[in-house]
Homo-oligomer: A and B are copies of this chain.
Amino acid sequence: MKLEVLTIGTELLLGHTVDTNAAELGRAFAAAGAEITRRTTVPDRPEAIRVAVAEALERTGFVITTGGLGPTSDDMTKTVVAELLGKRLVLDAPLLASIKARFDRMNRVMPAINRTQAEIPEGATILANPRGTAPGLWVQDGRGRVVVLLPGVPREMRGLLVEEVLPRLLERQGGSHAVVRSRTVRTTGVSESAVAERVGSIEPDIAPLTLAYLPSVDGVDLRITAWGLPPAEADARLAAAAERLRAAAGEHGYGTDDADLAAVVLDALRRGRHRLGIAESCTGGLVAERITNVPGASDTFIGGVVAYADVIKTAALKVPLEILEAHGAVSEQTVRAMAEGAQRLFSADAGLAVTGIAGPGGGTPDKPVGTVWLAARVHTTTRAVKRVFPGDRREIRARAAQAALDLLRRLLAES
């Protein structure tokens, strides 16, 4: 089954909003065996929406839209789609009551403008949206063509997708569908070219699966995709290919699919019964944020210090003043002392420390912006490395946090 996605919103074209819904829809439909053949973004203008929906319907007969379902004047998707499919808009009394009830529960009176959200194209199926006031709509015309309208707010869109759209889609497809499925082998600490030289020779062997290299601040992801195979065959081929890629990637591979390096590190710590304390300077809390973003981190992560001012490095982490004065805050000696300090302060088995120059200011010829020292410590073994990362402040910080986690991962793998 093929479909197209149309994301609607002038703010998307102006770049004021990043289109995360598009990615979310992509993952969900691919895994369900539906292929998104094209994605289009148009502004909040009735004519642009009309043309794009009509073209996409012509090509595939099935279109998912996001956005333009709110109560305000720039929300016109519903009106345009109703007109295009030759349907009147009618007020749905139960829907109006449920929108009013939602406001009641928040102890608020429903603003008059929200009333339009209870109007639906005649005969459309209402997709209940417990997370917001705009329901989704599944609209089918006399020729069996379908337009599914979803709200643009990511949390609401995601809920409707999982609870309302995917079940209907799977039912519509019946049992015998071919799927588009992917798996990813995640690598870090290695360049795209270097990883390609390690794994490139596998490519002909895994055909008809395709292989893509996806570099990012997290590393290089290797994505293999099966196109239009029966689910069981796709999964078997993907599993075999992922195993070969993983072996070829060697110690640079840290997981598959959605593997998060922070979760991988937490698992390794847990296996060794090591509890973790963190000390960070230039990453400013990002390493702790990555760790605590993993549900259940609290059994392993004790705490962190963001030692931004040097006085905190000496006072809280007990980095000797002589070290700071002799070698500077961005040095091997300091980062080692920070890792030890974090271990001590939090009575932890493992310590992880980062200190560097994220820029834009603060660089010197000896220590340019991007210079970062990282240290990982488990019991009495410390490993420290220096890296010079490219990019702007945000990117340097993200790369430094990932590299810190990777350093601890590699140290734990050896011990």
Q: How far is the CB of A250 from chain B (nearest CB, A)?
A: 18
In contact, A303 and B298 (Cβ under 8 angstroms)? no
Tell me which of A228-236, A279-287, A406-414 binds B.
A279-287
User: Is the Cβ of B360 less than 8 Å from the Cβ of A295?
Assistant: yes
A321 on interface, CB distance cutoff 8 Å:
no
Report chain B residues within 8 Å CB of A287. 285
- Chain B proximity mask over A279-322: 1 for CB below 8 Å, otherwise 0: 00001111111011101111001111111110110001000000
- B295 pairs with A212, CB closer than 8 A: no
Q: Check if B14 sits within 8 Å of A27, measured CB to CB.
A: yes
At the interface, yes or no: A122 with Cβ under 8 Å from chain B?
A: no
Would A359 and B295 be within 8 Å (CB), given that A14-B225, A111-B197, A214-B16 are in contact? yes
**Contact: A390 with B155, CB < 8 Å?**
yes
Query: Measured between alpha carbons, how far is A278 from B13 in the docked complex, in Å?
Result: 37
Per-residue CB contact flags for chain A residues 340-354 toward chain B (1 = under 8 Å, else 0) read 000001100000000
A134-151 residues at the B interface, CB under 8 angstroms = none
* Complex contact B44–A30 (CB within 8 A): no
**Secondary structure of the A contact surface, majority rule:** mixed
Q: Is there contact, CB below 8 Å, between A345 and B361? A: no
Which of A18-26, A82-90, A265-273, A379-387 lies at the binding interface? A18-26
Residue in contact with A111 in the complex, picked from B153, B196, B210, B216, CB distance below 8 Å: B196
A7-51, CB under 8 A of B: which get 1 and which 0?
001111111111110111111101000001111111110001000
What residues of chain A have their CB less than 8 Å away from a CB belonging to chain B? 9-20, 22-28, 30, 36-44, 48, 52, 70-74, 108, 111, 113-114, 131, 153, 155, 180, 182, 184, 192-193, 196-197, 200, 203, 210-216, 221, 223, 225, 278, 283-289, 291-293, 295-298, 301-309, 311-312, 316, 345-346, 359-361, 390-395, 397
Q: Is the beta-carbon distance between B22 and A19 smaller than 8 angstroms?
A: yes
A103 → chain B closest CB, angstroms:
8
A304 to B288, CA, bound (A): 11
Knowing A304-B306, A308-B303, say if A18 contacts B15 (CB, 8 Å). no
- A-B pairs, 3 with minimum CB distance: A284-B292, A15-B26, A285-B288
Residue of B nearest to A298 (CB): B308
- Interface contacts beyond A72-B213, A288-B308: sample of 10 additional A-B pairs, CB < 8 Å, sorted by A: A16-B223, A70-B192, A72-B212, A73-B203, A113-B196, A284-B291, A295-B393, A298-B308, A301-B309, A303-B312
Residues of B within 8 A of A39 (CB): 12-13, 40-41
Q: Are A196 and B153 in contact (CB under 8 A)?
A: no
B41 touches A48 (CB 8 A): no
Contact between A212 and B10, CB atoms less than 8 A apart:
yes
Contacts of A52 in B (CB 8 A): 38
With both chains docked as a complex, state the minimum distance between the C-beta of A105 and any C-beta of chain B, in angstroms. Answer: 12
Distance A166 CA – B43 CA, assembled complex (angstroms): 22
- Considering the complex, give the chain B residue whose CB is closest to the CB of A309: B302
B16 near A184: Cβ-Cβ < 8 Å = yes
Cα A25 to Cα B43 with chains together (Å): 15
Given A52-B38, A193-B71, A214-B17, is A308 in contact with B301 using a C-beta cutoff of 8 Å? Answer: yes
Q: How far is the CA of A226 from the CA of B12 in the complex (A)?
A: 16
Residues in B neighbouring A11, C-beta threshold 8 A: 212, 214, 223
* CB <8 Å contact, B41 and A14: no
Complex-state Cα separation, A256 to B391, whole angstroms? 26
Q: Enumerate chain B residues within 8 angstroms of A20, measured Cβ to Cβ.
A: 18
In the complex the two chains form, is B193's CB within 8 Å of A225's CB? no
B293 in contact with A397 (CB, 8 Å):
yes
Chain B contacts for A283, CB-based, 8 A: 289, 292
Contact assessment for B27 and A23 in the assembled complex, using a CB-CB cutoff below 8 Å: no
Query: What are 7 of the A-B contact pairs (CB < 8 Å)?
Result: A15-B22, A16-B27, A37-B48, A108-B193, A284-B293, A284-B297, A285-B289
Alpha-carbon gap, A36 to B284, bound state (A): 37
- Report the minimal beta-carbon distance from A272 to chain B, rounded to whole angstroms: 18
